[in-house]
Amino acid sequence: MRTAGVDLAADTKKTAIAVIQWERDRAMVERVELGASDEVIVEIAATVDRMGIDCAFGWPDDFVEFVSRHAQGARVDLSRDRGIDWRRRLAYRETDREVLRRTGRAPLSVATDRLGLTAMHCAALLDALADRIGPIRRGGSGRVVEVYPAAALRLWELSRPGYKADADVRAALVVSLEEQAPWLDLESVRRQLIESDDAFDAVIAALIARAHALGETHPVPSTVRERADREGWIVLPSGTVGALAVS
């Protein structure tokens, strides 16, 4: 099995991709590339079993409805709630609320934070991926899934504050990852993971993709499955990182 992870950014120069080759009781990071173009991501997607992309796959239904109504000149609908509760409902997807419930950490809002620029990039990338490998199921039931490395690190008890900004913190995190997953060969990419938080997150995204391939992720609640297919759904690992080597 081969899995890939993408740390997507609004600009190609900050986008990273990693590929992991899985064998029995062993895995090797065979490629990490910074400045990965959409064309590179699409080509790699065609060669792997699963790909995890760190970016929102869609926008909140309530936000989409609000923007559409506003564009048509309709009044703002405040019949369900008002004030900050209404704004929060529009700002976050169901999957964002689920991540907060499970990890205590809320993802950035794709509707109100800078993540929106990256999500625009992602929407175009998903179209390009669909042209090459077939329809992309935003709800997490296909080959390409939405991931959130920071949340996975929390669930794997690997989270370290400041890892995105501090190379020393990433260096310690790489050591911790190797201790929990001694079967994972990071030797050829160690320097890249320490020097670049984008490269590091791409590898974590590829590990989450493996968890998804093994069925070791939390399922989408049946009550929100249709909504997840529109808004996107972050797949969260349900087991330990050490168990990912089990074939």
pLDDT single digits (tens) 23-56? 988 999 999 999 999 999 999 999 999 999 999 9
pLDDT at 25: 87
Closest CA to 174 of 162, 158, 151, 188: 158
DSSP bridge pairs for 33: 17
pLDDT at 17: 98
| Block residue for tokens 């992991």 | 20
Are the C-beta atoms of residues 210 and 239 closer than 8 Å to each other? no
On whether the pTM is more than 0.85, the answer is yes
For domain 2-58+108-245, say whether CATH 3.30.420 is its number: yes
Neighbouring residues of 187: CB distance < 8 A, sequence distance ≥ 6: none
pLDDT at 247: 60
**Ranges of the chain with pLDDT below 70:** 247
Which of helix, strand or coil describes residue 18? strand
- Residue 207: CB atoms within 10 A of its CB come to 27
90's tokens: 């529009």
Nearest 5°: CA angle at 77, between 72 and 81?
155
